[in-house]
Amino acid sequence: MTRSRAQDPNVCGVTAAIAVIDGKWKTVLLWLLESGPHRPGELLRRLPGLSEKVLTQALRQMEADGLVHREVHDVLPLKTVYSLTEFGRELSEALAPLSDWGHRRLEKLSEAQSAS
């Protein structure tokens, strides 16, 4: 899905929302940032397999979409902290029922595997 679909007023609202969270890491980053502000290094440690480059790209896109706030503290070395914006919290709350559905689906799949 292209990023431009996140801004296209002629697409369905669900498509516009999914375009904002599309990708492997954005939903996990939203979930981690729900608990409070995090530094990039903390996020990298919590997400093995995520490279610094991909983290930076995802956070920049999320910042451009108004989901996260980037705060740079003027100390040496520079300290950068990311947190959810109110808009990001709204998205996270909107995704909660979808998350619940996903967990129920995984339980059903697990039950089906156990039965066979």
Amino acid at 62: M
Query: pLDDT tens digits for 83-115?
Result: 999 999 999 999 999 999 999 999 999 999 888
Q: What tokens were used for 38?
A: 């995090």
Give residue 37's pLDDT: 97
Q: What tokens were used for 99?
A: 């998350």
Q: What percent of the chain has pLDDT over 70?
A: 94
Query: pLDDT tens digits for 41-73?
Result: 999 999 999 999 999 999 999 999 999 999 999
105 C-beta neighbours (distance < 10 Å), count = 10
For tokens 């100390």, what's the residue? Answer: 75
